[in-house]
Every structure is written in structure tokens, then in C-alpha cells.
Amino acid sequence: MKQTALTNTDSYKLGHSAMYQDGTTQVYSNFTPRSMSHFNVPDRYKADKKIVWFGLQGFLHELNQVWKETFFDLDIDTVCDEFSAFVAPFCGPNGFDVTRLRELHALGYLPLKIKALPEGARVPVGVPVFTITNTVDTAFWLPNYLETWLSTELWKTTTSATMAHVYRKIIDEYADLTGGNKEFVAFQGHDFSMRGMSGVVDGAKSGAGHLLSFAGTDVLSAVHYVNEYYHGKSTFVGGSVPASEHSVMSTESKDEELEVFRRLIKMYPSGIVSLVSDTYDFFQVVTTYATILKDDILNRVPDSMGFAKVVFRPDSGDPVKIICGENIETLPLPEEKQNNLEIIGDWAMDRITQRVSDEAGHGNPGDSEAEDIFRVGDKYFKVKISIEWNRHDKQYYYMDGTEVLSVEQVTLTPEQKGAVDCLAEIFGTTTNDKGYKTLNQRVGLIYGDSITPERCEEILRQLAAKGYASDNIVFGVGSYTYQYQTRDTLGFAMKATYRVTNGKGCAIFKDPKTDNGTKKSARGLLCVHKAPLSGDYILVDGVSAEGEEKGELKTVYLNGNILVDDSIEVIRARLASA
């Protein structure tokens, strides 16, 4: 659908120019994130209550282009006639005074002043990221006429940029903890979201937000967007690798699947190639097939960047269990006791009874028999116990009748081991300076189905617990992350706080009694400055006209001219140092 300048708004905006008090000549508004209560990430990653501001520069280019092509370059009589007919079903035949349009058209530009914080900045909730006002008295209606368009284009880019930054913090944290390759972190969050977004443009702009924190992406339109509006051609914006899909891997017979893997590995004798591996039986692929193809994989030749990796991609099931295996507890026994079955049984019994009790809940009988697998040194033991439940005063307790029935050493199944362990057994690992293992660089893993920040963190946590560095996995971050968001995720809203009527400035605000406080707006003219010690942005409202000119909100748009021209490199660096 081709956008048009006058229809990129809500219908209720059509009558507002007439609703303002007579003599109104200026309206001053701001765009502010108001809350993180719906931002679904682990609490510690939003404890500072800061968002990543992004998207205005690209939007301003589109704003000018659409107004030029669908308004200023057209005959004004035709524009007025067509628009009057178009809006009549919404507000009646006299519901919009086209005199406003004629005055605006005669100017030949948008008489607006927009002041904003720099993109890539981390901004506390409650601090406006931009303000907007008109520069010509007759255009007082224009700032809030644009509210809908501004909001719909900017909440998503910022929300996605903020979410990507959370993923980056999680992965950085575990790279620090486990000695993971720091240069690889930029590619561990890979954007898979395009097909699940609300259209190509939504995918492109959300994907651009992802690219502030990562360089891995499958979203070509996001790189194109950055190239167009953020000087992306001057640097490496994002990239991917050759990768298969199920239509490539599927065969008439499961028995033919091995040959598909063999053919594709030979087709790409160097570099990185990613192969979907769960068309039929993922764990057969990372055990049997991987063993058969081991020489083919190890004999691939590094490309000019030193890469020669086959990446296996599971795409269904529980991502934590598939990558890490069962979350098996390690019994902390000294080496001299690690083969004593009686001691192992006693230690395990306490843990099993506690688990069964927790699962049963207070007042309910649990299982009479239970078993778990435990890791002891480099071996695994299955411990089975019986539990005698006594009833006393309508409550159930397990008492002295609990005993160990059996303790036996077991070999884990591939599913219990998890994909990383399976590949490690076949291809080996190296150990970094911090004592954590990384898979042979000829193989790797990427998981991209329904990844969330919680699952990302849990996978890295369990890998670390098993002695693996963070750089053994790439996360395909898709629409399960980036499309499960709304304007309320960060509470974004654009509100007017100041108006000039009959030459007198008036501070205006909203403070709904029925609200919990998040919708209470600032008042009057606004100034944002930095706190002396923390450097955090702080809002001061109700300032004078002179005070409004000061602070960190800088003019980025004035009377049709875009005054900011930051590159993706500058914005990335700003975020990295925030």
C-alpha cells in the first residue's frame, strides 16, 4: 500500500484543529517511554529501567519523502477535493477545514521543530526521547496530527533495539564468565524474525533495531534500511551464511537424508554452512550421521577468514533440553568416594525426597518410588528409592521408611546428553584459559525456534554448569521475541504538555485518577539534562522558554530540514559505551 501524508493518522485527529481554543498558535508535545512493567525479560536485565532509543532519523527521511510525493508536489485543489471526499464518512462533510491544508501547502515544507536525544542512547523510563512543536502559528494542529504516525513507526524500532540489547547483555555476561570468544558475541544473536513480522517494513525496522547490538541477521530488508538511512554502506552492517531449509533436506525416504548432508557439505568445501537437522531425527544426525561424516567435516578447508564450520540446526522441541540435555545434578563428592555406591545413594536420597516432596505439595502424598540420575565425576548413576508417607493430623510426611533401592552406573542417551555433548564426543573440544570447553571449530550449533531471553540465559547457564564456554551456540532470535511486543511493552506515548493561546503560554498535563500513575504526564516546556554523577538523563518539566533551549534534547529537524545524520557505526558505539 502506498502511504499518503494526510491519511497516516487516526480519524479522531481530523476534528482536533477545530477543537482547540480560539487563538491557539502553538502545541508542544513529547514522546516518552513510561513503563517497563510489560517488558518480559529477566528482572536483572531491566533493573536500571532504561530503553535503547532508535529509529527517528530513518523516520524523518520517510516523513519528508511521503509529504513531498503525496502533498507538496501535488495540485492543492486536487488534494483538498479528494481529501474532503475521503474524510466525509469519518467526520461529516464539514469535519475538516481544508484551509489548514492550503496554508501548509503554500509554505512548501513541514513547519516543525523536533528536538531529540541521540539514537543509541540508553534513556530512563519517564524521560522523553523527543519533543515536537510547530514553528508557524497556523500549523498549531500539525504536531499532534502526526502523533499516530510517529508512534506507530517509533515504538517498535526502540522496543526491538532494547530487546536486542538485553540479549547482548546476557551473552556478554556469559562470555565474560566462561571465556567465550568476545568477537563472536556479535554473531551469537542472529535475527530470524522476518517471516513472523507484520509485513516487510515492520521486519526491516525491527531488524534494524536488532543490528544495533548484533551483526548476525537473515533480514535483508533491515540491512537495506540501515544502508539507506544510517550510512550502512560505509561499514559491515550484518550478514549470514549459506543455510538449508526443510524443503532442501526432506527426501522421499529417511534413508536418503545422510546423502543430502554429504552432498551439501561437499558443495560448500570451505566457510560456514548451516544445515537444518531435525527433519526426521535430530539426535541421529548429531550422533550417527556426524560420526559417518566426520572426515568430510574435518577435511573442509578454511576460507579467507579462517572459517570451515558445519553448523547443525535443530528447529523443534525444548531448546534447553536439545542443546544442553537433561539438567542433571552433580553430586559434590571427593574423588576417593566417587565409586562408593552406598555414599552416592545416601547423597542422592536426600535430593530425590526433597524433589518429590516439593512436587507433591503440602498435605499431599507423593510417589512411593522415585528415581533420578546424578553426575559423579565423569560418570552417571541412576538412584532409585522408596518413600514411606505417614499421615498425621491430615498432613502427609515422609519419615524413616525412606530407603535406597538401587544405585547403578548408566550411560546417557543422546537426548539426555544434549547436542553439545554429542558433538563434543565425536569432534573433541579445546579448553580456554578459564577452564571451559569449546567445540572443535569445524562444527557448531544454532537454535532458532521460540527463543526468548529466559531460554537464552538458561541455555548458557546450563552449558556453563557442564563446563562449556558460551561460544558453543548461536541463537536465532525470531518473531517469538520481536513480534510478541506492543506499544505498551515500554509504555510509549506522545502527549502535549504546553500550548500557546492568545499569546499566553499554558502548561498542560494529564493525571488520570483511575490510573496507577504511569499515565501521569509532564507539564509545560521540558528540558532533559544529565545527572552530574551517574550521567543518566533526567527530565525537568515546567521550565522557561530559555531553559527549554538548553539540555540534551538537540534540534534534529527544523522546517523540513533533517539536521542529524548519524551512521550506524556512531550509534553502535554510543550504545556500547552507554
Report the candidate in 21, 7, 3 with the shortest Cα–Cα distance to residue 66: 3
d(CA 342, CA 349): 11
State the pLDDT at residue 399.
61
* Direct distance between the N- and C-terminal alpha carbons of the chain, in angstroms, rounded to an integer: 38
State the pLDDT at residue 289.
98
State the pLDDT at residue 111.
98
d(CA 514, CA 338): 63
Tell me if 463 sits within 8 A of 323, measured CB to CB. Answer: yes
State the pLDDT at residue 315.
87
- Give residue-wise pLDDT tens across range 6-60: 999 999 999 999 999 999 999 999 999 999 999 999 999 999 999 999 999 999 9
DSSP string, 79-106: HHHHHHHHHHHHH-TTSS-THHHHHHHH
d(CA 467, CA 456): 17
Cell of residue 563, nine digits: 539536521
Give bridge partners of residue 383 from the DSSP assignment: 372, 407
**Topology of domain 10-57+110-160+488-577, per CATH?**
nicotinate phosphoribosyltransferase (3.20.140)
Report the candidate in 242, 297, 341 with the shortest Cα–Cα distance to residue 442: 297
- Give residue-wise pLDDT tens across range 104-139: 999 999 999 999 999 999 999 999 999 999 999 999
State the pLDDT at residue 362.
67
State the pLDDT at residue 414.
97
- Give residue-wise pLDDT tens across range 70-82: 999 999 999 999 9
- Give residue-wise pLDDT tens across range 354-413: 888 888 776 677 778 999 999 998 899 999 999 887 776 666 666 667 899 999 999 999
Three-state secondary structure call for residue 359: helix
Residue 343 has pLDDT above 90, yes or no: yes
Confidence of residue 512 (pLDDT cuts 50, 70, 90): confident
Report the candidate in 501, 503, 552, 493 with the shortest Cα–Cα distance to residue 526: 552
- Give residue-wise pLDDT tens across range 440-463: 999 999 999 899 999 999 999 999
Residue 320 has pLDDT above 80, yes or no: yes
CB atoms closer than 10 angstroms to residue 9? 18
Residue 92 has pLDDT above 90, yes or no: no
Q: What is the mean pLDDT of residues 210-239?
A: 98
- State the average pLDDT for the chain: 94
CB atoms closer than 10 angstroms to residue 205? 26
Tell me if 464 sits within 8 A of 168, measured CB to CB. Answer: no
Q: What percent of the chain has pLDDT over 70?
A: 97
Question: pTM of the entire structure?
Answer: 0.93
Confidence of residue 511 (pLDDT cuts 50, 70, 90): confident
Burial label, 439 (beta-carbon count in 10 A; 0-12, 13-18, 19+): buried
Report the candidate in 11, 8, 146, 3 with the shortest Cα–Cα distance to residue 88: 11
DSSP E strands, 422-575: 429-431, 437-439, 443-447, 474-477, 492-501, 504-507, 525-530, 537-543, 554-558, 561-562
**What is the rounded (10 degree) CA torsion for 534, 539, 542, 548?**
90
- Give residue-wise pLDDT tens across range 413-440: 999 999 999 999 999 999 999 999 999 9
State the pLDDT at residue 396.
65
Report the candidate in 214, 156, 219 with the shortest Cα–Cα distance to residue 186: 214
State the pLDDT at residue 102.
97
Q: Which CATH number fits domain 246-327+415-482: 3.20.20.70, 3.40.50.2000, 3.90.650.10, 3.40.50.920?
A: 3.20.20.70
Domain spans, the chain: 10-57+110-160+488-577, 246-327+415-482, 329-411
Three-state secondary structure call for residue 220: helix
State the pLDDT at residue 176.
98
Grid cell 499569546 — which residue? Answer: 503
Confidence of residue 191 (pLDDT cuts 50, 70, 90): very high
